Amino acid sequence: MMMDQDGLPTPRRYLAIAGVSLGITLAVIDSAIANVALPTIAADLNAEPAHSIWVVNGYQLAITVALLPLSSLGDRIGYRNIYVPGLAIFTLASLACAMATSLPMLTLARVIQGIGAAGIMSVSPALLRFIYPQRLLGRGLGINALVVALSAAAGPTIASAILAFAPWPWLFAVNLPIGIAALAFAAPSLPATKNSTHKFDVISALLCAATFGLLIGSIDALGQGESFGLFVVELAIGGILAWILTRREIGKPSPVLPVDLLRIPIFTLSIATSIASFAAQMLALVSLPFMLHGMGYAAVATGLLITPWPIAIAIAAPIAGHLADRYPAGLLGGIGLGIFALGLLSLAMMPHDAGVADIIWRMALCGAGFGMFQSPNNRAMMNAAPKSRSGGAGGMLATARLLGQTSGAAIVGMMFVHVPGQGAIVSLFIASGAAIVAAFVSLARLYERPAVQVLRASNPEADPGMHADVLKQQAQDPPKEP
């Protein structure tokens, strides 16, 4: 039965939330869980350490190239029909990873696992719009932001705990019971959304995959010390493909690259806010372990000292999600990112002999600010798009996060090369600057037109249902901007 009502009834809603949350947890944790085990994997499989990095890169690149095409396909065939197969592919690929006996086998399994993860990530925000009633959407996105943040922060800790008692294949084997449970919750409970009548553009999907694969791959390679010339070539080719893709997509009612949504200022500003803020977060999370190690803290102590960050997110994200149902995202995001910037600046200026309490309150300040921004930002981004384009909006949300994280990690790598001995501190100052920029971009959303006006002006030939979706949505949730 197609979804027409406002959200799912309980208890089906809770089963659907459990299915989505477990799937997101698996996909996000596996983005970081293998990093810790790379030396062990390389030694066990008799592989060169430089080659073993593809265990991580293969997964990330597969997600990168598949996100937007799968989100667009979700608009076409229904979001449940992307999420459930994606979750099944991810779970089966996890079994293949656990059984791999060589590096090529493991890398191939990780690529397949990444495609499954893209299926999970690309449509999960879109599904939330149909799972939660409109009045509770901010709260739901707050819970989703909490799951993403905690999963990302917990990945290395979980990996270390598993490796303390079991060999590396168990990093992937533990996904099996969780994946099966997620499928048991998701398959019968996720809503069946209306399908689009527009034909899926295979050529645009391939162009989109190549464009983002080159752009994000080039940034990642630069951060890992590849030659600057190769970075420029990859970036240039990616830019040319992006131009071709954009020209091809203009005027289409349901493009793979959502250029129609990018014409909505609130949506574009929310994307820019997300990229800058996730870059700031990754700049900090990559550089902080090195900074704390230089202050004399061991690896276990370093992990514990960073823990207040995700704990503060866990407290702030649901509160911010609740507030997002009442107050404009531009204001909440601006305040949260301002707090985040202050926390990052306090870490950058922290004395070398700082005590545990001094470190903890700074970490908590960063987490509280980031948690306050994320839920309202995601809500603004999803609400700016009509429900029929929820897949494209969700794909852009995940792509923005990935682009920000990749850029932040690459900048840290460059700082360690070009500012030896001070790379971590310089990275934290850059992170604070990125958070300040994100705060101002967020506040700029307070002065933009409602999305439906922009949709009508930029694409009058689009499906009238798109405009109707937004009008209905705005009637339920009138804009609060001045």
* Ranges of residues in the chain whose predicted pLDDT is under 70: 1-5, 32, 35-36, 49-51, 153, 156, 196-197, 223-226, 299-300, 303, 448-482
User: ω before 169 within 30° of 0 (cis)?
Assistant: no
Q: Is 73 exposed, middle or buried (0-12, 13-18, 19+ CB in 10 A)?
A: buried
Give the whole-angstrom CA distance, residue 375 versus residue 329.
9
The pLDDT assigned to 5 comes to 66
CA 450, 456, 458, 464 dihedral sign is: positive
The pLDDT assigned to 68 comes to 85
- Give which of 98, 165, 382, 152 is closest to 278, Cα–Cα: 152
Give the whole-angstrom CA distance, residue 30 versus residue 217.
18
pTM, two decimals, is 0.75
In degrees, rounded to 5, the angle at the alpha carbon of residue 442 between the alpha carbons of residues 441 and 444 is 65
Query: 413 is written with which tokens?
Result: 């790598």
Give the whole-angstrom CA distance, residue 137 versus residue 384.
13
The pLDDT assigned to 74 comes to 86
CATH level 2 (architecture), domain 1-189: Up-down Bundle (1.20)
Q: Which fold has domain 258-482?
A: Growth Hormone; Chain: A; (1.20.1250)
Q: Is 34 exposed, middle or buried (0-12, 13-18, 19+ CB in 10 A)?
A: buried
